[in-house]
């Protein structure tokens, strides 16, 4: 995903506005901690936080020049914003997201409807931040939060931690960094037999589903695939090129939901059992020509598929090229093998919650490598070859 596609959520923008404005509606201590966590863990959030802070400081400086009794002209600001909205598309349908403090949000789809009274209620923050920062957040945030929270759909955003998210039915979900799930507020409340427990997933997550044979559990994976189970544990990892489902226990039905009529002639659904992995390739990106179907399965031989969750990397006589790839993915760094002969070297070792520097030192000794750091996230691996 490029930077142009990354956007802050409404919750994050609202928290930034309150955090930097120090208005009476300031954040609670828990919410302040959440802001600091986002700043520390999400580089894009920190960048936007600094941009918003700069605008706020410049606004205060401008206000001081006008005198201590200065306050923004809300009426004029409203007129300007109204004109911008008309130019934007007054009848455009937009998707709105509201987030409760920390993890819970609601999502509805409605036409744009902005009233002057709401604008005035926002006060100084609206006059300075909303007009100054553009339409994005304002169009998505025109209704009162308490009213929005009465709607039916909830979104849960969860930064990766070792503590699982527990759903109303007792199912547990571990979400990798920046992953998001959403589900209806009546999740787990059933009116009839065979009613499904459904949710949507964006990003990587591990599921441990509470067994309920009367109510199957179904996951919509980024609109590309569906996973349906009764009670089992499995990992879902969608990326730009493919969706992977790896089963740890039980059975999983894995289905392609993004196929065309032409593709429907091919196999679009498979049943996976413990130790198997289902793969759905994006048909426009690096899909092997030899595959007879859009969805296929293979034996899972990747012992590190849950490294992001259990913080454990295991290498058993593994080629250095693959070792490097696993280390890069887990530590979010780049390792460059300068000598192509190094790719064929074999390495055996286990790292359990091991700091990156210790991992690199072990690789250096075990494979006769010299390691040099070229920038904050890139390391050059050189040497004559294997021992």
Give pTM, 2 decimals. Answer: 0.58
Average pLDDT, rounded, for the chain: 73
Q: Give the per-residue pLDDT at 162.
A: 77
Q: Give the per-residue pLDDT at 342.
A: 86
Q: What is the mean pLDDT of residues 357-364?
A: 92
- The CATH architecture annotation of domain 158-299 reads Sandwich (2.60)
Q: What is the mean pLDDT of residues 107-127?
A: 40
Percent of the chain scoring above 90 in pLDDT: 30
The strand pairing partners of 170, in sequence order, are: none
Q: Which tens digits make up the pLDDT trace of 143-156?
A: 333 333 333 355 55
CATH number of 311-382: 3.55.50.30
Could you tell me which of 212, 165, 204 has the C-alpha nearest to residue 188? Answer: 212
Helix spans in the chain (H): 10-21, 29-41, 43-66, 74-89, 116-122, 124-125, 131-133, 135-139, 145-148, 307-310, 320-331, 356-366
Alpha-carbon distance 132 to 36, whole Å? 24
CB 229: neighbour CB atoms within 10 A?
24
Alpha-carbon distance 158 to 105, whole Å? 11
Question: Which has the higher per-residue pLDDT, 185 or 254?
Answer: 254
Question: How sure is the predictor about 279, in pLDDT bands with cuts at 50, 70 and 90?
Answer: very high
Q: Give the per-residue pLDDT at 150.
A: 36
How many contiguous H segments (helices) and E segments (strands) does the chain have?
12, 21
Token pair 């199957």: residue: 216
CATH 2.60.120.1440 domain span(s) along the chain: 158-299
Q: Give the per-residue pLDDT at 288.
A: 61
CATH 3.55.50.30 domain span(s) along the chain: 311-382
DSSP structure string for 217-242? EEEEETTTEEEEESS-EEEEEE-SSE
1-5, 189-193, 296-300 — most confident range: 296-300
Judged against a pLDDT cut of 50, whether residue 126 lies above it is answered with no
Question: How sure is the predictor about 111, in pLDDT bands with cuts at 50, 70 and 90?
Answer: very low
Cα angle 331-332-334, degrees, rounded to a multiple of 5: 105
Question: Which has the higher per-residue pLDDT, 368 or 111?
Answer: 368
């Amino acid at each position: 995903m490029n930077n142009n596609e990354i956007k802050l959520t409404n919750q994050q923008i609202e928290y930034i506005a309150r955090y930097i404005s120090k208005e009476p509606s300031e954040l609670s201590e828990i919410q302040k901690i959440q802001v600091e966590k986002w700043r520390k863990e999400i580089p894009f959030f920190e960048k936007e936080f600094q941009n918003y802070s700069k605008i706020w400081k410049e606004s205060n400086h401008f206000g001081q020049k006008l005198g201590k009794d200065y306050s923004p002209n809300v009426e004029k600001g409203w007129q300007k914003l109204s004109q911008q909205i008309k130019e934007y598309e007054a009848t455009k349908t937009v998707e709105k997201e509201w987030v409760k403090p920390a993890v819970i949000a609601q999502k509805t789809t409605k036409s744009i409807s902005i009233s002057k009274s709401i604008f005035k209620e926002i006060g100084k923050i609206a006059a300075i931040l909303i007009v100054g920062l553009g339409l994005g957040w304002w169009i998505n945030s025109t209704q009162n939060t308490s009213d929005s929270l009465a709607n039916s759909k909830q979104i849960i955003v969860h930064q990766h931690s070792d503590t699982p998210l527990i759903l109303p039915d007792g199912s547990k979900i571990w979400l990798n960094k920046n992953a998001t799930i959403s589900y209806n507020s009546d999740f787990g409340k059933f009116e009839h037999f065979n009613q499904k427990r459904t949710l949507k997933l964006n990003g990587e997550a591990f599921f441990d589903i509470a067994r309920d044979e009367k109510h199957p559990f179904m996951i919509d994976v980024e609109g590309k695939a569906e996973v349906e189970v009764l009670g089992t544990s499995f990992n879902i990892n969608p990326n730009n090129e493919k969706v992977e489902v790896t089963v740890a226990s039980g059975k999983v039905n894995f289905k392609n939901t993004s196929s065309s009529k032409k593709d429907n002639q091919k196999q679009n659904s498979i049943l996976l059992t413990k130790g198997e992995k289902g793969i759905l390739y994006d048909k426009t990106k690096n899909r092997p020509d030899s595959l007879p179907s859009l969805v296929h399965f293979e034996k899972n031989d990747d012992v590190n598929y849950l490294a992001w969750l259990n913080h454990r990397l295991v290498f058993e006589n593994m080629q250095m090229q693959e070792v490097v790839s696993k280390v890069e993915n887990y530590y979010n760094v780049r390792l460059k093998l300068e000598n192509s002969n190094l790719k064929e070297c074999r390495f055996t070792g286990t790292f359990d919650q091991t700091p990156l520097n210790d991992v690199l030192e072990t690789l250096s000794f075990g494979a006769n490598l010299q390691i040099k750091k070229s920038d904050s996230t890139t390391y050059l691996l050189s040497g004559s070859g294997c021992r």
